[in-house]
Structure 1
Amino acid sequence: MTLLFDTHTHLDSYQFDEDRDEVIQRAKDAGIHMLVNIGFNRETIPTTMALAEKYDFIYAAVGWHPVDSIDMQPEDLDWIERLCVHEKVVAIGEIGLDYHWDTSPKDVQQRVFREQIRLARKVGKPIVIHNRDAHEDIIRILREENAAEVGGVMHCFSGSPETAKQCLDMNFYISFGGPVTFKNARVPKEVLKQVPLDRILIETDAPYLSPHPFRGKRNESAYVSLVAETAAELLGKTVEEIGAITTENGKRCFRIV
């Protein structure tokens, strides 16, 4: 069986309330032997921690999503810092900027983003970056806050090859999800072919961004195998090789021994 690492998922989401145990079992049956579940606000951080404590192969990232940044209070940042000592917490995230949804003002998003990068540097954790329609500001803030010191993941990367290179130069891994499997995904496929093998990660972002042929339906961690198949095809590797490469990359990125 090919062993795979889904580096970004949301299995605590309400979309899995009716069959979460079955979804997790299907992931294991599909060869997923590690996954990082993302807690990104006051509601999902506790449920993410509960999953990480229940399953030995599930790790946690905790942070504050830019869409929810208007709600973040100083005590929430303190809470995230306290959680970072937990043995299953491997990253701060997902954090970043989202200029698509108009729920939090840009200045608030940027302040909260900076605060969490500074926290990550303080506690020595990598960061998981959410970037939607904010490439220039993301790169600028990562540079200004010396995020290269901790590095991390550009989650479900949607930028250009040039933006990918800027992220690679700052010690970030580039993660690919369901969109890279779409037939019209010319730019993501081109980026994947240009990223060094030792900096590629794969993910689902379940229950969102389902890969082909499940586009438009609920995503789940088992489908990361479809991302691995696309990567293998594009890079001239076997799925087993992609599984081994991306697992080692994920363990290195998240400091999992």
Structure 2
Amino acid sequence: MTTATIVDSHCHLDFADFDAERDAVIARAQAAGVARMVTICTKLRLEPKVRAIAEKYAPVYYAAGTHPMSAADEPLATVDELVAMAAHPKFVGIGETGLDYHYTADSAEIQQQSLRVHIAAARETKLPLIIHARAADKDMARILTEEYANGAYSCVMHCFSSSAALAQTALDLGFYLSMSGIAAFPKSKDLRDIFAAAPVDRVLVETDSPYLAPPPHRGKRNEPAYTAHTAAVGAEVFGLSYEHFAAQTTANFDRLFWKAKA
């Protein structure tokens, strides 16, 4: 059993899937070496519940934003609102935000507007932007690049599963790519190759739980403990020992999510 610790940089502990056993889920994560977790609020009206979870559990930090798939149905976030939330000591990132044209292409315009608000808040707070990108690579690359020219900010492409071109744009801007259970799926060789071409000091690991459980739990509810399975695949991708990859991704996390540094 390894003593290496890792971080689940993106999970959703407020979801009803965990209501019956949140204590046990967090205990299992710690037993698996997942020393810290960032739980993500996807609708700002739910921020009090997400904040309460971070306040209750020492290893849990949180971030908040408006998920792009909800951008048309939720009030548009304001920079001031996000900056005010960011004053909380356990609030460590802005988002998740981004663009999703897979199911919600009809709200592309409001998604882009929302994304730019979140970028402005990330710039002002110096907290990392947490990006969800799906079927919107061109617009995503354009907006991230345009906004960076307006003023630097830090960012992670969460649950990265987009094109090599978008990965390169993100890396060129100094951003990070986060590896989820998708990278551990047997058919995801192309995605693993994208990660293998990235600098290892720009890679994070996450679950996005309760979604996207990696093998051997694929098809079941995901939970933060399973970050270890994705990290094991990540270590193979980079030709590193599990301990070395765990230490590297933890150092990467601490650099980006500076407010959650151990």
How high is the TM-score relative to the length of structure 1?
A: 0.95
Q: Which amino acid aligns with 1:79?
A: E
Is the 2:122–2:154 contact (alpha carbons within 8 Å) kept by the matching residues of 1? Answer: no
Q: Which amino acid aligns with 1:70?
A: A
Gaps of 5+ in 1: none
1:180 aligned partner? 183
- Mapped partners of 2:78, 2:55: distance in 1: 21
Alignment of 1:1-257 (within 5 A): 1-73=3-75, 77-102=79-104, 105-146=107-148, 149-256=152-259, 257=261
- Mapped partners of 1:94, 1:36: distance in 2: 11
Cα displacement (A) at 1:72: 3.5
- Mapped partners of 2:16, 2:133: distance in 1: 23
- Mapped partners of 1:166, 1:93: distance in 2: 20
Is the 2:200–2:238 contact (alpha carbons within 8 Å) kept by the matching residues of 1? Answer: no
Cα displacement (A) at 1:77: 4.9
- Mapped partners of 2:32, 2:116: distance in 1: 38
- Count of residues in correspondence between the two structures: 257
Q: Which amino acid aligns with 1:179?
A: I
**RMSD over aligned Cα, in angstroms?**
1.6
Using a 3 Å threshold, how does the CA distance of structure 1 residues 27 and 217 change in structure 2: closer, same or farther?
same
Is the 1:160–1:187 contact (alpha carbons within 8 Å) kept by the matching residues of 2? Answer: no
Q: Which amino acid aligns with 1:26?
A: R
Tell me whether 213-222 or 68-77 shows the greater mean CA deviation.
Answer: 68-77
Gaps of 5+ in 2: none
Partner secondary structure for residue 90 of structure 1: strand
Using a 3 Å threshold, how does the CA distance of structure 1 residues 79 and 173 change in structure 2: closer, same or farther?
same
Cα displacement (A) at 1:42: 3.4
Using a 3 Å threshold, how does the CA distance of structure 1 residues 103 and 22 change in structure 2: closer, same or farther?
farther
Tell me whether 158-167 or 191-200 shows the greater mean CA deviation.
Answer: 158-167
How high is the TM-score relative to the length of structure 2?
A: 0.93
- Mapped partners of 2:145, 2:138: distance in 1: 11
Partner secondary structure for residue 142 of structure 1: helix
- Mapped partners of 2:162, 2:105: distance in 1: 22
Q: Which amino acid aligns with 1:207?
A: P
